[in-house]
Amino acid sequence: MIEVRRSKDRGYADHGWLRSYHSFSFADYYDPDHMGFGHLRVINEDRIRPGTGFGTHGHRDMEIISYVLEGALAHKDSMGNGSTIVPGDVQRMSAGKGVQHSEFNHSADGVTHFLQIWIEPNVTGIPPGYEQKHFDNASKRGKLRLVASSDGSEGSVKIHQDARLYAGLLDGADRASHAVTPGRRAYVHLARGALTVNGKALEAGDALKAAGVAEIVMEKAKGAEVLLFDLA
């Protein structure tokens, strides 16, 4: 099974200070056909206006990954962490038994454009946790770089779920492939640019769901930044 989810078909919310596209049902956007994919529950493409952000709010029992495309995202949480997330960074927050945090764009004139990703954990009620790592462009250029996994392999951030997240930067004649183990599925989200995945042409914001497929093949890229989820 291969299914393409077009950017224009996503949910959308405009709060003035925040514009957000929802790949799956979220907040006031409900679509019973798009509740998630495996343990992947949320991909929100958010744009935060200068000097605004998410005030302190809580989460429980969710693996939350932030991936910044443009600008910077200031993070503070009840664990005592305070950081700024910039392009190339991958931040993982395990909400566990409960955490409070805030996210702001402190820029005077630039929009913060980022992806917020939620993955359902395989354990609940654990102490909350935090991790942030930088993956430079060279490590993703023309290939898929592991950035999150259940065991923290290859220097990736560690998540509490049998899932692996890869990021890649592809252009021109670049070609990247990923073998999918039988019984697993793959979800490809194109953050920007254009890319052909298993013969399907994708543009920014589009996604491809794959199950029962032995390999994901990415080619014919034009300034593509792509995320691939390998899911149980």
Please name the residue that has the structure tokens 């951030």.
157
The burial of 3, by beta-carbon neighbours within 10 Å (0-12 exposed, 13-18 middle, 19 or more buried), is given as: exposed
Q: How far is CA 29 from the centre of its chain?
A: 19
Q: How many helices (H) and strands (E) does the chain have?
A: 0, 20
The token duo for 55 is 């005030």
Cβ pair 231, 28 in contact under 8 A: no
pLDDT bucket at 5, cuts 50 / 70 / 90: very high
Instruction: Read off the amino acid at residue 90.
Output: V
Predicted TM-score (pTM) of the model is 0.96
Position 229 scores a pLDDT of: 98
What is the per-residue pLDDT for 232? 95
DSSP lists the bridge partners of residue 5 as: 207
Q: How far is CA 77 from CA 45, 143, 148, 160, in A?
A: 21, 33, 21, 19
Asked whether the beta carbons of 130 and 79 are under 8 A apart, the reply is: yes
Residue 219's pLDDT band (boundaries 50, 70, 90)?
A: very high
What digits encode the pLDDT tens for the residues 140-169? 999 999 999 999 999 999 999 999 999 999
Q: What is the overall mean pLDDT for the chain?
A: 97
Residue 220's pLDDT is what? 97
